[in-house]
């Protein structure tokens, strides 16, 4: 399976987001999340082409699109940031962690307007988790040039 994933990465169909961890006893350290560079391929594989904002996978589609767009911008700029996701063994999670020379930024990507806590990440790293939703999809300064 890993060989197929490597092939899909090398042909720019998918990319894998590694987990961010500085404390392997409390945090997931070896996991990776898989994203498609083009969410259309994701939709084709799922045979899900509805444009309905109430489709059952809208949250996952939104997260995939947003993270892929950040990864594309990062690649375009010569990869000044390292991109990760974060999860604890107690299942606290942050969708996107960006590590750059200026420090860490953390983002929770949600389609539905919900309050984002991010308390576990803030307590662990002193960084507030920023919400990203359809009302603010283009957070242009996520990746610094």
Q: Is the pTM for the entire model greater than 0.75?
A: yes
- Using one digit for the tens of pLDDT, what is the confidence trace for 26-80? 888 788 999 999 999 999 999 999 988 889 999 999 999 999 999 999 999 999 9
pLDDT-derived band at 24, boundaries 50, 70, 90:
confident
Give 139's pLDDT tier (boundaries 50, 70, 90).
low
Q: Angle at the Cα of 92 (from 124 to 46), degrees rounded to 5?
A: 135
Beta pairing, strands 93-100 & 82-87? antiparallel
Share of the chain above pLDDT 70, in %: 96
Looking at the predicted structure, is the pLDDT value of residue 136 above 90? no
Give the Cβ contact number of residue 87 at 10 Å. Answer: 20
- Up-side HSE of residue 135: CA atoms within 13 Å toward CB? 5
* pLDDT tens readout for residues 68-82: 999 999 999 999 999
50-55 contacts, C-beta under 8 A, 24 or more apart: 53/111
Higher pLDDT, 27 or 103: 103
């Amino acid at each position: 399976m890993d060989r197929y994933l490597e092939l899909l990465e090398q042909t720019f169909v998918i990319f894998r987001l590694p987990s961010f961890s500085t404390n392997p006893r409390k945090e997931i350290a070896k996991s990776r999340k898989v994203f498609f560079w083009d969410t259309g391929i994701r939709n084709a594989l799922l045979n899900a082409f509805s444009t309905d904002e109430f489709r059952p996978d809208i949250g996952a589609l939104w997260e995939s699109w947003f993270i892929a767009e950040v990864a594309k911008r990062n690649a375009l700029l010569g990869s000044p940031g390292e991109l990760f996701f974060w999860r604890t063994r107690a299942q606290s999670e942050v969708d996107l962690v960006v590590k750059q020379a200026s420090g860490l930024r953390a983002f929770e990507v949600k389609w539905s307007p919900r309050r984002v806590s991010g308390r576990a990440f803030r307590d662990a790293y002193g960084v507030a988790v920023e919400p990203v939703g359809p009302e603010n999809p283009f957070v242009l300064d996520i990746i610094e040039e």
